[in-house]
Structure 1
Amino acid sequence: MSLFTRYQLGDLTLPNRVVMAPMTRVRAAASGLATSAMATYYAQRATAGLIVSEGVQPSLIGQSNPGTPGLHTDEQVAAWRPVTSAVHANGGRIFAQLMHGGRVSHPDTTGFQPVGPSAVPAVGDVFTPTGPQPAPMPRALDTAEVPEHSASYAEAARRAIGAGFDGVELHGANGYLISQFLSSNANLRTDRYGGSVAGRIRFAVEATAATVEAVGAARTGIRLSPGATFWGVRETDTLELYTALLTELARLQVAYVHLEATVDEDVVVELRRAWPGTLIMNPSLPMGAKQAGRTEADHWLDLGADLISFGRAFLANPDLVERLRNALPIAPVDEATFYQGGDEGYLTYPAYQYTS
């Protein structure tokens, strides 16, 4: 098996096993609308076997950062269609990542007090329209309210398919809402959504099941970060927790599980054994010191991953697949342009320039 062999993902035939990981770029227009620059950005990277979009909020209260796109209004659906059309015109495939921020949000961004499994604030400063501010106290969801938030993923998934996406990925990682329910310190609930492993995985399972019912299992994936501590979340019994979750996801027959290398390698190998379906592996920590390349990709393929996702390498290298295939230099990324807006550091990275 090679990084450059075909792979059948549901109804999609991927020409290679290179996945563009979801990355926040905060380039959306007002009201969470996708833009023509976003269409160009994703189309430039359409040689990836699969593109997973930046996090897209499934509801206004689910918005984490200013400048991010949504999939909860008809106008947002219409704005995404030129983006997906551009990717498809360039021969690509694209899933929308559905990201509910939960407690990682701010009233200055959404107009609402953030919600979470419990009244426990995130650790750190959150982005707001006027700059970073301390994460506010979230409002703990009542038991009766929880299903409407799991259903928001399903409704956004329907809109995503209507906007031309090939499928969706639920963002269950990195300290956002699904991850908060999985956590043992952000989730202090004593009802059916907390306490035991079965309780803590319930929200993730219900959100995924609703999405599968809405758009089909072949169009539904989920991203997870076992053992991670983003935004102050912590988990007890990581292996037991994620083994139980993967067992339930296997029953739903979702298209894939997308894992981040946020826990010891031997734990990931155990989770691979617990998961019978397609595994996308992201070899490097989000914003970590090391950027993944061909060596790390081959290592994880050898350990049982089916597809490998790359984040930062795709920012500065729109032709990353060709560079990996031909052992060409991987251009460095300018971190100062990650979130600054505009085309610089977004559309301005060139393909590799061959010399005669």
Structure 2
Amino acid sequence: MNSNADRYIPSESRLFKPLRVGSFTLQNRIVFPPLTRLRSDDGHVPLPLMQKYYADRGSSPGTLVISEATAISHLEEGNWNNPGLVSDMQTEAWRKIIDAVHANGSFFFQQIWAMGRASNPDLLAARGFPYRSSSAVAMKGSAIVPKAMTENEILETIQDFVNTAKRAVSAGADGVEIHSAHGYLLDQFLTASVNQRTDKWGGSIENRARLTLEVVKAVVGAIGGERVAIRFSPYAGFQGSEKTDFRELYTYLITELKKMNVRFAYLSLVEATGDPGALIWNDKKIHQDKTLDFILEEWDNLSPVIVAGGYQPDTAARAVEEHYQKWDVMVAFGRHFIANPDLIFRIKNGIPLAQYNRPTFYNHKQWLGYNDYPFSQEFVEAHSHAVHPMIEQKEEAVVA
């Protein structure tokens, strides 16, 4: 994706053409995607510094900002300092973040998840919660085996997704993104090597897909289809999520989603080169011969699609102009958005991107590596008279 990329000028490409998503219209197709950053407090309540972080990345009006993965229950707050959306305190904290994004004229979706066996078992044990998954299959390298969820626990999980979606909307979110990817709980049910159940929630493709589809149906029934998005990672191997039947599985999932006769907000897909296992740990590009085309063909522009896969501005422009030209595609930028709160402004104006500092990505509760990346001088000058270009917040004022 680089031989002819320079023939496309990002600012003149479809990256900057408006796109209807759900009930609103984006002014660009560059998305700030879900990025776990561990900046909540020890009670999983978003810290005040998160208001600035999210608002800044929505500083170009008409941008889609998606939250980091947010727990649907206290049981699923499975790692230190990741956020939940369960208690009144958590909901109010998210409300302030969402208000800050909206003040900049951008839109906000809450990604919601259950972690399952990807949780830290020591943390769960300390809090008196069970360590569980679709089946009693341990994570690779772990001697701790999760317990297989009961039917009642599965039904409670579906209701937890519904309740959290409602709370997100009540806090002002424009919608929710259901996380069914990367080896977390819903994906643990999809993956045959993890899901070894013999009841209606396991075995066949239809049974393994049942939980994801039931969650989607229930959330759509609660908040409406135009507020609902779904994330899949068909090629990911992260956390034991490899699938040998990915083509059949995801074709079935897409077919069943279409049968719901709902125009979803969007579908979010991770390309083979976007597997966290490759990008985070060894930077190797895997499965480069595999594409998302079979899903996009089946989806057939039912609603826009987000693609993620380690894009640069030039390769993103080429992707929307060439490979994805017949589909309504948005492109997610993760690591570059971390280091460039004004990423969209920079891309539109040809301003060089700042370099991210990977070792600070997961600094628990810290300002460093989170809100210390500056806006470009060009952005500051262009917005010197704006009312809400940035939240003025200083490091020493943040409780950590």
- TM-score higher than 0.5 here? yes
2:370 to 336, 346, 351: 346
Q: Identify if the C-alpha distance between structure 1 residues 233 and 43 changes in structure 2 by more than 3 Å, giving closer, same or farther.
A: same
1:131 maps to: none
CA distance in 2, matches of 1:197, 1:296: 35
Cross-structure match for 1:71: 85
Q: CA deviation at 1:264?
A: 5.3
Q: Paired residues, what number?
A: 341
1-structure distance, mates of 2:166, 2:180: 18
Give the distance between the partners of 2:374 and 2:305, measured in 1 at CA: 27
User: Does 1:309 find its partner at 2:332?
Assistant: yes
Pairwise CA RMSD of aligned residues?
1.9
Distance 2:371 2:162 in 1: 31
Partner of 1:117: 134
Where does residue 136 of structure 1 map in the other structure? 144
1:32 aligned residue: 44
Alpha-carbon displacement from aligned partner over 1:163-205 (angstroms, at most 9, x marks no partner):
1111100111110011111101010111111111111111110
TM-score (norm 1): 0.91
Identity %: 38
Following the alignment from structure 1 to structure 2, what is the Cα–Cα distance between the partners of residues 344 and 266?
37
Partner of 1:43: 55
Q: Give, in whole Å, the separation in 2 of the partners of 1:135 and 1:16.
A: 46
Distance 1:79 1:119, change over 3 A: same
Q: What is the Cα deviation at residue 265 of structure 1?
A: 5.7
Query: Residues 197 and 35 (structure 1 numbering): CA distance in 2 closer, same or farther, change over 3 Å?
Result: same
- Equivalence for 1:300: 319
Q: 1:121 to 1:113 in 2, by over 3 A?
A: same
Q: Find the partner of 1:281 among 303, 306, 310.
A: 306
After superposition, the Cα gap between the structure-2 partners of 1:279 and 1:240, relative to the gap in structure 1 and judged at 3 Å, is: farther
Displacement of 1:49 in angstroms is 1.9
The 2-side partners of 1:63 and 1:306 are apart by 32
**Shift, 1:17, TM fit:** 0.8
Gapped regions of structure 1 (runs ≥ 5): 125-133, 285-290
Unaligned runs of 5+ in 2: 1-12, 273-286, 382-400
> Residues of 1 paired with 2:14 and 2:176: CA distance?
25
8 Å contact from structure 2 (residues 266, 306) kept in 1: no
Partner of residue 212, structure 1? 220
Cα distance in structure 1, aligned partners of 2:143 and 2:25 = 42
Alignment partner of 1:174: what SS? coil
Which structure is higher in RCO with an 8 Å CA cutoff and minimum separation 6?
A: 2
Give the CA deviation at 1:323: 1.4
Q: TM-score, normalised by structure 2?
A: 0.81
How much has 1:212 moved relative to structure 2? 0.7
Q: CA deviation at 1:251?
A: 2.7
1:276-308 deviation digits (Å, cap 9, x = unpaired): 323433342xxxxxx411233224323235211
- Larger C-alpha radius of gyration, 1 or 2? 2
Counterpart residue type for residue 281 of structure 1: I
Superposed CA offset, 1:301-342 (max 9, x none): 232352111111100001111111122212111111111131
Residue pairs, 1:1-356, within 5 angstroms: 2-46=14-58, 47=60, 49-110=63-124, 111=127, 112-124=129-141, 134=142, 136-252=144-260, 253=262, 254-262=264-272, 267-276=291-300, 277-284=302-309, 291-301=310-320, 302=322, 303=324, 304-340=327-363, 341-354=365-378
Measured in 2, the distance between the counterparts of 1:161 and 1:149 equals 19
- Amino acid of the residue matched to residue 306 of structure 2? M
- SS class of match (1:8): strand
Deviations, residues 216-275 of structure 1 (Å, cap 9, x unaligned): 111110111002111112212111100110111223322211000026565411110111
